[in-house]
Amino acid sequence: MREVYLDNAATTPLLPEVREAMIPYLGDVFGNPSSLHDWGDGSREAMETARDQVAQLIGADSDEIIFTGSGTESNNFAVKGLALAQQSKGKHVVVSAIEHFSVLHSAKTLGKWGFEVDEVPVDKYGVVDPEEVRKRLRKDTVLVSIMHANGEVGTIEPIKEIAGITSKLKVPFHTDAVATAGTIPVDVRELGVDALSLAGNQFYGPKGVGALWLRKGVRIMPLLDGGIQEGGRRAGTENVPAIVGLGKAAELAKTDMESRVKRLTPLRDRLLKELPRKVGHVVVTGHPQNRLPGHASFCVEFIEGEAMLMLLNSKGIAVSSGSACTSRALKASHVLIAMGLPHELAQGSILLTLGMDNTPEDIDYVLEMMPPIVDRLRQMSPLYAKFTKTVKGGK
């Protein structure tokens, strides 16, 4: 059976070159980078090379990169750490309604600690209006956190415009770039932000490693206390093999970015155009054009996403869904609901995220497999039965 992996938003596979780069650090080169002897030097040098590689990917200086254990940690660190470091100035924080839970739940925690949190709404495409951010800024606002792109609906946000507003008022601005760094061009100076999160497993690097870029001079409160690793901002012995992998993945992403985008975009556009046509009663979620290159997301009417996911899996196709049934918490995607989609439509969420391994034949296969699967579930669905009866009755 054909195997088609279309869940690159969950994680990309590890590139063989990245794995090769990591292997020595899972073997002979095992020293603690904080150690002063030759063993330590070997690990430390590799880690500093990785720091340069990550910095170059996003147009930053190496000493502004803090390695973390994941995108989630970077987001927690930025939201809590920046707000706490500024709390003498005020206790007001602004985030968008469609942030990743690592930002939203961190903001919620700040709420428990006495901060006031404002959520900026989005339009039906999931776009944040910079004016909506401006309206919410106050004298005591100490942090704005808006994501660069949403991993669930693919929409790219107007970060540069928002940064134009926050920088004038000198409010620290963090952006969660987990979905974009290594995928589309990200330049921290051009974006004009103060802090930016990224994660290795979104661009063919290893899992369990991320980074937070923090503009020089911006104060942050560490989440982890201990030794003086990462300039005293993130204690704990560094995950050297993963950091080396992150660095290598960043280097490759920078070199190959243009060709990757060129390869993915037409495949994505075929899905966005042909899937709704082939299946019928399908809504594209997210912005139709201004979206991530490999990202195609939909809501299929009258059926539920997890059932679709499982039937596609039985045909060798891996996708994901934002339906309530797919989430462990059994709640419909907060992103789709914030975009104004009704709950029953959000239940039909399906997300196809392409990667470098995908071919035009993969797309053919998905477009061939999808209609009978949807049809099968619709034949079972009482909602579809009601719909067809109303249509017939109306005639």
Partner 1 sequence: MPIYSEKVMDHFMNPRNVGEIENPDGIGEEGNPVCGDMMTFYIKVKDNRLEDVKFKTFGCGAAIAVSSMVSEMAKGKTLEEAKKITPRLVADELEGLPKNKFHCSNLGAQALNKAIDDYLKKQQKEGGK
Q: Does residue 343 bind partner 1 (CB under 8 A)?
A: yes
Q: Does residue 382 bind partner 1 (CB under 8 A)?
A: yes
Stretch that binds partner 1, among 126-134, 171-179, 277-285, 340-348 (CB under 8 A): 340-348
Residue 299 appears among annotated catalytic residues: no
Beta bridge partners of 66: 212
Q: Does residue 341 bind partner 1 (CB under 8 A)?
A: no
CB of 381 to partner 1, least distance (A): 5
Q: Which of 202, 196, 210, 116 is nearest to 157 (CA)?
A: 196
Stretch that binds partner 1, among 7-15, 104-112, 362-370, 382-390 (CB under 8 A): 382-390
- At 214, phi and psi to the nearest 5? -130, 120
**338 near 98, Cβ under 8 Å?**
yes
Interface pick for partner 1 out of 314, 359, 388, 390 (rule CB under 8 A): 314
CB of 176 to partner 1, least distance (A): 27
Q: Does residue 383 bind partner 1 (CB under 8 A)?
A: yes
Structure token pair of residue 73: 């940690």
- In a 3-state reduction of DSSP, which class is residue 327? coil
- The active-site residue out of 228, 310, 325, 385 is 325
Q: Which of 112, 114, 149, 147 is nearest to 133 (CA)?
A: 147
Interface pick for partner 1 out of 26, 36, 228, 380 (rule CB under 8 A): 380
Q: Which of 307, 282, 310 is nearest to 296 (CA)?
A: 282
Residue 359 per-residue DSSP state: -
Q: Does residue 349 bind partner 1 (CB under 8 A)?
A: no
9 vs 332, which CB is nearer to partner 1?
332
Compute CA distances 129 → 121, 124, 165, whole Å: 8, 11, 12
Interface pick for partner 1 out of 53, 201, 326, 333 (rule CB under 8 A): 326
CA distance 278 to 394: 24
Neighbours of 336 (CB within 10 A): 26
Q: Does residue 23 bind partner 1 (CB under 8 A)?
A: no
Q: Does residue 310 bind partner 1 (CB under 8 A)?
A: yes
Q: Total number of residues binding partner 1 (CB under 8 A)? A: 26
The end-to-end CA distance of the chain, in Å, is: 43
**Residues belonging to the active site:** 325
Site residues, partner 1 (CB under 8 A)? 302-304, 306-307, 310-311, 314, 323-326, 328-330, 332, 343-344, 347, 379-385
